Homo-oligomer: A and B are copies of this chain.
Amino acid sequence: MTGYNVAVVGATGAVGTRMIEMLAQSTLPLGEVKLLASARSAGQTRQFKGQDLVIEELVPESFEGVDIALFSAGGGISKKFAPEAVKRGAVVVDNTSAFRMDPEVPLVVPEVNSEALKAHKGIIANPNCSTIQMMVALEPIRQVAGLKRIIVSTYQAVSGAGAKAMAELKRESQAYLSGTPVADLQPEILPCGGDKKHYPIAFNALPQIDVFAEEDYTYEEWKMINETRKIMEDDTIKVAATCVRIPVFAGHSESVYIETEKVIPVSAVKELLAKAPGVVLEDDPSQQIYPQALNSVGKKETFVGRLRRDLDVAEGLHMWVVSDNLLKGAAWNSVQIAETLHELDLVRVP
């Protein structure tokens, strides 16, 4: 073969931009790369391996001849156009929440459950950013010691809410530092573009990501609960999440508490994680070494540190998990799924 024709849907967004970068670095044999977006962005160009690619307007016919379509243009676009892509023979890797909990759709973190790809029917879902990095960190521990329970509190970057949210953090921060009163910061997007009220994120912490849903958990919190169980194929894992947006541009951090089935010493966990795929262990309190959001930017790995035993519960472990939410949390995981589909010879609609 000469290579796969790949389409990027949502090529101008925060994630789409990174998808193009990740594709350029990928080992995936590439044929034609096609950048798709709304009519508004059509005609703009983006660099790809030294070439200028012209962005085309997304229409159903865009997928003629496409082998792999990477979607990151919002759930509505995925729901409408992913079936059109599949109908035309393209395998879809979808970075929205549109199909994640569909029992027919594999939800994949390649380090954890690439086997699930074998059952794909044309669409593969990329999990939520905050879920992915937690799965990469916990799977090596689960394999050895089992996993009964997760309690996670997140420290999520604004880039997870898109390029406009990043611009909002920048604008508000500049205004605040120039003396603008908090009441005059005029937030328009965060905590959630689709919700009624908006609050400043600059120098603040907002315990709302996505809209509120059942039991007064946010949809983001439900994603972490439900997606964890689906990816780990274990509905008995107890998962509780509190998802919080903080004034960081990129890089999600997570304070994660787990209880394993079997007691495992911290030293053994460190050994496991030091050699685990996709994980970088950054953990040396004597040298103040621990993962930091700013250091994770632009990197594909998930960084784990602050590993320590719970002082009261023998099976309890605490840790700090950080990753670039636009890369492993979105663009890189999507391209990595495409690479894995290629390795397993699954780039075809069954």
List the interface of chain A (C-beta within 8 A of B).
Answer: 149, 151, 153, 155, 170, 173-174, 177, 182, 191, 195-197, 199-200, 203-208, 212, 215-217, 225, 238-240, 242, 244, 246-249, 253, 255, 257, 266, 285-288, 290-294, 305-313, 316, 318, 320
Q: Is A246 in contact with B311, judged by CB distance below 8 angstroms? A: no
Query: Could you list 27 A-B pairs, sorted by A, with CB under 8 Å?
Result: A151-B257, A153-B153, A153-B255, A173-B177, A174-B177, A195-B288, A197-B287, A197-B288, A199-B288, A199-B292, A203-B248, A204-B294, A205-B248, A205-B293, A207-B305, A207-B306, A216-B266, A216-B307, A217-B308, A217-B311, A240-B310, A240-B316, A242-B306, A242-B320, A244-B320, A247-B247, A247-B248
Residues of B close to A155: CB separation below 8 A:
155, 205, 244, 246
Among A153, A212, A239, A313, which residue has the most Cβ atoms of chain B within 10 A?
A153
Q: Known A-B contacts: A195-B288, A204-B292. Give 9 more (CB < 8 A).
A: A151-B151, A155-B155, A182-B294, A200-B294, A207-B255, A212-B286, A238-B313, A240-B316, A242-B320
Among A191, A203, A207, A238, which residue has the most Cβ atoms of chain B within 10 A?
A203
A interface SS class: mixed
Q: How far is the CA of A307 from the CA of B170 in the complex (A)?
A: 31
Residues of B close to A217: CB separation below 8 A:
308, 311
Among A170, A191, A197, A318, which residue has the most Cβ atoms of chain B within 10 A?
A318
Q: Is A255 in contact with B244, judged by CB distance below 8 angstroms? A: yes
Residues of B close to A305: CB separation below 8 A:
207
Q: Least Cβ distance of A190 to chain B in Å?
A: 11
Q: Is A311 in contact with B240, judged by CB distance below 8 angstroms? A: yes
Q: A240: which of B177, B239, B247, B318 is its contact (CB, 8 Å)?
A: B318
Q: Is B312 in contact with A191, judged by CB distance below 8 angstroms? A: no
A158 nearest in chain B by CB position: B203
Residues of B close to A290: CB separation below 8 A:
207-208
Please name the 4 residue pairs, one residue from A and one from B, whose CB atoms are nearest each other, closest first: A153-B255, A153-B153, A238-B312, A212-B285
Q: A246-B247, A248-B205, A320-B207 are in contact. Are A215 and B308 (CB under 8 A)?
A: yes
Q: Is B204 in contact with A248, judged by CB distance below 8 angstroms? A: yes
Q: Is B240 in contact with A255, judged by CB distance below 8 angstroms? A: no
Residues of B close to A310: CB separation below 8 A:
240
Q: Least Cβ distance of A129 to chain B in Å?
A: 15
Among A197, A207, A244, A313, which residue has the most Cβ atoms of chain B within 10 A?
A207
Q: Is A240 in contact with B320, judged by CB distance below 8 angstroms? A: no
Q: How far is the CA of A312 from the CA of B262 in the complex (A)?
A: 20
Q: How far is the CA of A210 from the CA of B316 in the complex (A)?
A: 23
Q: How far is the CA of A238 from the CA of B313 in the complex (A)?
A: 9
Q: How far is the CA of A253 from the CA of B155 in the complex (A)?
A: 11
Q: Least Cβ distance of A188 to chain B in Å?
A: 14
A197 nearest in chain B by CB position: B288
Q: How far is the CA of A200 from the CA of B310 in the complex (A)?
A: 29
Q: A151-B151, A292-B199 are in contact. Are A253 and B308 (CB under 8 A)?
A: no
Residues of B close to A244: CB separation below 8 A:
155, 253, 255, 320
A171 nearest in chain B by CB position: B177
Q: Least Cβ distance of A312 to chain B in Å?
A: 4
